[in-house]
Amino acid sequence: MEKNENRTIDSLFAVPLFSKDFKYEEKQRFINHAKNYPSVEVSNVGGFQSDFLNPAEDVVSDFLDAVLQDVQAAVGFFGLREADSLAVSGVWMNVNDRDHWNHIHNHPGADFAVVVYFKVPENSGDIVFYNNDPVKQASEFYTTPLGNDTEFSRLKYAHTPREDSMVIFPGHLMHNVMVNESSEERISVALNIKVRRSGHRFVADTGWK
Within-domain flag for 150 = no
**What is the structure's pLDDT at 4?**
65
* Predicted pLDDT of residue 149: 83
Rg (CA), the chain: 19
Domain of 45?
18-127+162-196
The residue type found at 69 is Q
Instruction: Please give the tally of structural domains in the chain.
Output: 1
Return d(Cα 81, Cα 96) in angstroms, integer. 38
Q: Are 26 and 62 in contact (CB under 8 A)?
A: yes
Residue 60 lies in a domain: yes
Tens of pLDDT along the chain (209 residues) come to: 556 688 898 889 899 999 999 999 999 999 999 999 999 999 999 999 999 999 999 999 999 999 999 999 999 899 888 888 999 999 999 999 999 999 999 999 999 999 999 999 999 999 999 999 988 888 998 888 888 888 888 999 999 999 999 999 999 999 999 999 999 999 999 999 999 987 544 444 444 44
Q: Is residue 169 part of a domain?
A: yes
Number of C-alpha atoms within 13 angstroms, CB side, residue 152?
8
Q: What is the CATH number of the domain that holds 120?
A: 2.60.120.620
Is residue 29 exposed (0-12), middle (13-18) or buried (19+ Cβ within 10 Å)?
A: middle
Q: Is residue 138 part of a domain?
A: no
CB of 77 within 8 A of CB of 206?
yes
How distant is the alpha carbon of residue 84 from its chain centre? 21
- Report if residue 149 sits inside a domain: no
The answer to whether residue 137 sits within a structural domain is: no
Cα 113 from Cα 170, distance rounded (Å): 6
Query: Is-above-0.85 flag for pTM?
Result: yes
- 51 within domain boundaries: yes
Q: Is residue 27 part of a domain?
A: yes
